[in-house]
Amino acid sequence: MRRLENKVAWVTGAGSGIGEAAALALAEEGASVVLTGRREAPLESVAERIRAKGGTAHVQAGDLMRGDTAGRIAAFIESTLGRCDILVNNAGLNIVERDWKRLTPQGAQEVIEGNLSSAFYCSVAVLPMMRAQQDGVLIHTASFAGRFVSPMSGPSYTAAKHGAVAMSHSLNMEECVNGIRSCAVCPGEVATPILDKRPQPVSAEDRAKMVQAEDVGDLIRYIACLPKHVCINEVLISPTWNRGYVAALRR
């Protein structure tokens, strides 16, 4: 029997990158997967790959920066599937004009809502189902930027990801009595489409040395499959060839 048979997983930002890899990995373990993102076509593509292998996938597109979207999708999950066992809060974004010299209020708002507010909305939406089950795991794609401050990610992204890490720990402090676990996954550089928003282009050679989306998907799978009495509160994952470390060695 696959480890997540009869479980339901909701994956946000599921159309590409880490979200896509996580959705495929969870489906391989037998979970019924609900896929959310702003663009329906990539979600349908992921869903078809899951269904082609005999899995179950539901597409629920929507903009999670809107406060009512998460509630709508959670209601769909409860009415259609009856439960939610796993939430992968992976939706996120960054902008090119991210440094203080160019940052605008609109840019800051977009990054904070895309990386922090959306995670809050989804967490709030699934908690009633998890409390009723007395079981559930929330996995949040944070970032090295959620633990370490550097100019590379920009202040809005760094602040939002620090907030996501704090949010995750606060969930464990309150919800541990309900059998609910929360984990902040903090990757270093991962070869995903978000790199295309970097002010300085990232070469194909450098991307090949980075953590790949499938590596983080496997980590999310591992966390989701742990027994109820185990909580991984936070985990850092980074490339062996860490470009920040390499740059410091070359000074």
**Residues annotated as catalytic (active site), given as ranges:** 157
Local structure of 211: helix, strand or coil: strand
- d(CA 113, CA 123) in angstroms, rounded, equals 14
- d(CA 247, CA 114) in angstroms, rounded, equals 30
Q: Which residues pair with 25 in a beta bridge?
A: none
Pairing of strands 86-89, 190-191: unpaired
Residue 196's CB is within 10 A of a number of other CB atoms, namely: 10
| 125-135 exposure pattern, b = at least 16 Cβ within 10 A, e = fewer | bbbebbeeeeb
Closest CA to 183 of 222, 122, 126, 232: 232
Q: Where are the beta strands (DSSP E) in 123-225?
A: 136-141, 180-187, 190-191, 211-212
Environment class of residue 37 by beta-carbon count within 10 Å: exposed (0-12), middle (13-18) or buried (19+)? Answer: buried
Closest CA to 30 of 8, 53, 58, 2: 2
Contact 212, 187 (CB under 8 A): no
- d(CA 113, CA 156) in angstroms, rounded, equals 10
